[in-house]
Amino acid sequence: MADTRLIQGRYQLLDLIGRGGMGEVWRARDESLGRQVAVKCLKPMGRQHEPSYLRVLRERFRREARVAASLQHRGITVVHDFGESEGVLYLVMELLDGRNLSQLLEDNRQHPLPVPEVIEIAAQVGAALDYTHRQGIVHRDLKPANIVRLADGTVKICDFGIARLAHDIGFSTRLTGTGIAMGTPHYMSPEQIGSGNVDHRSDLYSLGCVLYEIATGAPPFDMDDAWAVLVGHRDTPPRPPREIRPELPCPFETVVLDLLAKDPGDRPEDAAAFVQRLAELTPYRMATPPGGTLPEGRPWPARASARLPEPPRLPGWARNMTTGSKAAGTGPLQTPPDPSAALTGAWTGRREDGPTGTGIRRIPPQ
């Protein structure tokens, strides 16, 4: 694979389109079906980790990949295949023709998006989260870079499963040892920061951070120091969005601040309740949300009060945490100067034909 950049004799890697802390995303050609796809390669953890740890990583990756592949909703990226090739775990997904929200802000010179676009994105992401949460899946790493708007206006959530995988293994307890941050600080919920019980309401908080940013141009706690960002999420009420952008509808400000409640019990009951609340913003909408009618009869909880629980100490792993990327500070992708730099060397070994041990048969190139 080092020479041909061919995975499992089927997926021809063409060019690098994204790179993150846990791996890379490549535009590729499926030689078997003659279509273009996106291939996400999970970076190997290295020999410093014990074999039992790596076995757990691989098994959780396979399980979560199957879960992601089972999700059938127009607001969620389709997963076609997964497996392991020469020590590299990979996911094969639909290739999206669009821009993620981080890129949209960059295209707009870091100015907030138009109000109708913000509300339409909120409705579509809310509908996708409602479906996903009803399947018992929590994203845990919702951020602008993981939400893509296609050329036809459809909005899709990406990267389901990987964040849950890492959380289940317990990466957060050894963050500094692995170098992998679970969640981007600007979009992490207070319960994620405090290692508390994380459920679907954590995704709602992260969605509130995303909407706040695309509506105002900056996340609710826009600081360069990761520790200060985490303390802000835990202790500080966010500045009302209309103080930054007065033309925002008052009901929109209310629902975003509800999403950003410190106590999960003060947030909307679920994503369906959030989508129902957006119905009040119909005059500002571009279109109705996809996937059917709005849920009926859902109670809307009272707005979060100013009372805050006694703040726990931030966990020790957060002290050396960096802020990572936020939409307002993300630059264009810098591809490696050497086209063969990715997925070579330490990433790959010598290609050998035969069983991979993953249950996936090698398919000869067409």
Tell me the catalytic residues.
141
Which residues pair with residue 38 across a beta bridge? 27, 93
Q: How far is CA 84 from CA 4, 40, 63, 81, 351, in A?
A: 17, 11, 13, 11, 13
In this structure, the dihedral spanned by the alpha carbons of residues 261, 264, 266 and 270, taken in order and rounded to 10 degrees, is 110
Cβ-contact 26, 45 below 8 angstroms = no
Are 281 and 252 contacting, i.e. CB atoms less than 8 angstroms apart?
yes
Alpha helix (H) ranges present in 241-313? 241-244, 250-259, 271-278
Parallel, antiparallel or unpaired: strands 88-94 and 98-100: unpaired
Dist. CA 36–CA 339, nearest whole Å: 19
State which H helix or E strand residue 164 sits in: helix 162-169
- Report the amino acid identity of residue 142: L
Per the listing, tokens 């592949």 go with 69
Output the CA torsion 339→345→350→356 (10° steps).
Answer: -90
Dihedral sign for Cα atoms in the order 92, 95, 96, 99: positive
Tokens of 183: 């969640």
